[in-house]
Homo-oligomer: A and B are copies of this chain.
Amino acid sequence: MLTAKRHALIIEQLHKQASVTIQELVNLMDASESTIRRDLSELEKKDLLKRVHGGAMRINDTHAEPSYQEKVGQQTREKQKIAQVAADQLNDFDVIYLDAGTTTHAMIPYLKDRNITVITNGLMHLPELERYQIRTYLIGGQVKHKTGAIVGTVALKQLNAYHFDASFIGTNAIDERFGYSTPDPEEAEIKHKALLQGKRRFILADETKLNTKSSYQIATLNEATFIVDKLSKSMRTRLEKQTTVKVAKS
């Protein structure tokens, strides 16, 4: 039997079983002990299993889908709640703009099987969008490697060519008077433009962003519906004088 095939079989076996003995493998594949031992050594070197006396054990770091698992781990419950509320604003067949960033990222699982088309400037969204087989258009322009977003004048111009049923924009700060803001002027421009191209307009933030200001304004409060995970009663009253507010039910 082919070496590669034996390796595949061993891994498959460990997928079912959590552990195998050398003898099991010898019988299964009709190879000598020596051969199986060698196989296990090699597979261990590749971190595909853990050798133990008498056989091998499955390694349990869910190497299957690391990027997804990792990100879910990082995704706080707050962002999940915000994403849920944002997703409630969607209709089937909507064409939406999804801003770069982790808060909007959490919305992606909710888009599944709803025939929604996504336009985005966030490269970080692409693997997840592929995972759920969502039709996706990327804004063109300069790649900001550090943040994985598309920015710049080209991107700004390209946004003119699109119109969305709804825009979902993340923000770094929200202040009662200064409105929504972010530390990067280029991103502020993009976010504002993308917001305006949407028929229904949403800005997402978690409560830690309340009553903070960054240098560059994205939009004033009245330009979008504000979605947040938690909000004090008094703050809510004051904000609602200027805009619509959606709060996650806790």
Contacts and interface: CB of A to CB of B under 8 A. Distances in A.
A140 B113 CA distance: 24
A19 B5 CA distance: 7
A35 to B, nearest CB: 13
Contacts of A19: 2, 4-5, 8
A183 interface: no
Interface stretch (A123-131, A199-207, A219-227, A232-240): A123-131
A142 B150 contact: no
Contacts of A41: none
Question: How many copies altogether?
Answer: 2
Contacts of A143: 126, 129-130, 136-138
* Chain A interface helix/strand/loop/mixed: mixed
Contact of A53 (B3, B8, B21, B135): B3
Contacts of A55: 2, 4
A130 to B, nearest CB: 4
A16 to B, nearest CB: 14
A142 B5 CA distance: 39
Interface string A1-31: 0111100100000000011010000000000
For A2, A8, A18, A133, the residue with the greatest tally of chain B CB atoms inside 10 Å of its CB is A2
A3 B154 contact: no
Given A67-B65, A143-B129, A3 B138 contact: no
A140 B142 contact: no
A54 B18 CA distance: 29
A36 interface: no
A72 interface: no
Contacts of A65: 64-67
A139 interface: yes
A200 to B, nearest CB: 23
A7 to B, nearest CB: 9
14 contacts: A3-B52, A4-B19, A4-B52, A5-B19, A8-B18, A64-B64, A65-B65, A65-B67, A130-B143, A136-B145, A137-B141, A138-B150, A140-B140, A140-B155
